[in-house]
Structure 1
Amino acid sequence: MFGKLEISGCIESLTGLHIGGGSQFAAIGAVDSVVVKDIDDDLPMIPGSSLKGKLRSLLSKQFSDGELPKEHNSDADVVKRLFGHTDKSGPKTGRVYFSDIFMSKESRDRLENEDIDATEVKFENTISRLTGVANPRQIERAVKGMKYHMSLIYNIENENEIEEDFKTLKTAFQLLKYDYLGAAGSRGYGRVDIHDLDVKKLVVSDEAKISSILENCKSILKEV
């Protein structure tokens, strides 16, 4: 059996979220580090690459006794087949495709109806222990309480490994809920909740087989 499944869900920010929008020239008094935004509406977004990288690093540590392997090819097999790796024949694409994640309509409406700004500026200050000199800076964050609609594509390559792959993804989502997304997690940024996860078939080669597998996958993700 081969085909594609969609994994959808909600990523909700529990604290301010900072995923940097790249290094830019900042005039004196301007924000030093801005967040990445959707070019169409200038609202904060979560790049698919940010979510993919975070989930992979969490799983890599989980399956390597807490130590992050120095090379992607040293990851556990269950991680490599989901996120990709390289072998003697060349690069191998992972089974999960990540898309950029945009703010939900619910949160967009809330911003408009309650006249809330989508981002805030947090003032921070570091002080040199040697000189005592302060280094103030301004960090832009997407405000807490916003919801982002996540949609991932899972490519079926081995029907006997589908449920194991979904259990691995469940572990990744659970780990992320108790970690952080983006930057400055040790300073309170980036705590998120993941909920309303669902799975649906997009294209499958065997309709009879997929029904029971699909229900099992939904049950697995409901435990996140």
Structure 2
Amino acid sequence: MKLREIKELKGKIIIKTGLHIGAGNDEINIGGIDNPVVKDPITGYPYIPGSSLKGKVRTLLEWYKGYVNQDGSPYSTKDSNNPIARIFGNGKNESEYKGGPTRVSFSDCRLLNAKELIEKDALTESKVEVSIDRTKGTASKAGPRHMERVPAGAVFEFYLTYKVFDEHDEKNFELLLQGLKLLEMDALGGSGSRGYGKIKFEFDDEEIAKKFQEIKF
């Protein structure tokens, strides 16, 4: 096995609707945020973890290619030619899997227009959600939830690298682009079924941007 090339994919992620990637909260204060977004501990700015991108793109591609169990859960494989395992890695059956290292590496995405959002007092937003008792048609006794979101209009840096060892990897790069397209069509982060997390990719490379635009399902 010999490394032939490392492809770079650079660009931006434009947030179209409020994005929530949770950070967890062990202490909830009265009148505070129940579900904060993940933030950089140094700057305090929200960011998009590379793990969130990788996990969602992998899941969408597994559903698209049918690489799931009957209950919808992903399955592990020993097949070294399985494209999903080659691209994203195969955590299970490591001792028996001969497909080599993970091909794609997603970087964390830093916020690019923080100054603009701060000037608008819109670095993040708080969205109040009320659960409805569908039997009674009234608000749930659980009370409202305060969800912190990155607002629409936020722009994040996007960067990934992709290792090419053979012709299979070269072909599978197209599949990775399809996964990013599926993510753009679906949603990133939590509460996607309630309208959260719609994003748009903008790529620096014009050829990649054109190829991405032409992807149809």
State the TM-score, normalizing by the size of structure 2: 0.82
The whole-number CA distance in structure 1 between the counterparts of 2:13 and 2:212 is: 14
Name the SS for the 1:60 alignment partner.
helix
1:18-167 to 2 correspondences below 5 Å: 18-64=20-66, 68-73=72-77, 77-85=82-90, 86-87=92-93, 89=95, 93-104=101-112, 107-112=113-118, 114-129=119-134, 133-135=140-142, 136-158=144-166, 160-167=167-174
Name the SS for the 2:182 alignment partner.
helix
Asked whether the equivalents of residues 203 and 209 of structure 2 are also in contact (C-alpha less than 8 Å), the reply is no
Asked whether the equivalents of residues 177 and 192 of structure 1 are also in contact (C-alpha less than 8 Å), the reply is yes
> What whole-Å deviation, never above 9, does each CA across 1:121-152 have from its counterpart, x for those lacking one?
00011134568643211000011111111111
Change (3 A) 1:218 1:115: closer
Asked whether the equivalents of residues 60 and 69 of structure 1 are also in contact (C-alpha less than 8 Å), the reply is no
Identity within the alignment, %: 35
Name the SS for the 1:50 alignment partner.
helix
Deviation at 1:69, TM superposition (A): 4.2
> What whole-Å deviation, never above 9, does each CA across 1:169-224 have from its counterpart, x for those lacking one?
1111111111000000111100001112539xxxxxxxxxxxxxxx7x67644646
Tell me which residue corresponds to 1:208.
none
Q: Gaps spanning 5+ residues in structure 1: where?
A: 200-214
| Richer in helix (by share) | 1
The whole-number CA distance in structure 2 between the counterparts of 1:190 and 1:71 is: 26
Asked whether the equivalents of residues 124 and 137 of structure 1 are also in contact (C-alpha less than 8 Å), the reply is yes
Name the SS for the 1:9 alignment partner.
strand
Deviation at 1:162, TM superposition (A): 3.9
Tell me which residue corresponds to 2:17.
15
| Richer in strand (by share) | 1
The whole-number CA distance in structure 1 between the counterparts of 2:78 and 2:60 is: 14
Q: Number of residues paired by the alignment?
A: 204
Change (3 A) 1:38 1:126: same
Amino acid corresponding to residue 39 of structure 1 in structure 2: P
Q: CA RMSD in A?
A: 2.7
Change (3 A) 1:90 1:147: farther
The whole-number CA distance in structure 2 between the counterparts of 1:220 and 1:167 is: 9
> What whole-Å deviation, never above 9, does each CA across 1:74-94 have from its counterpart, x for those lacking one?
898111100011446257531
State the TM-score, normalizing by the size of structure 1: 0.80
Q: Gaps spanning 5+ residues in structure 2: where?
A: none
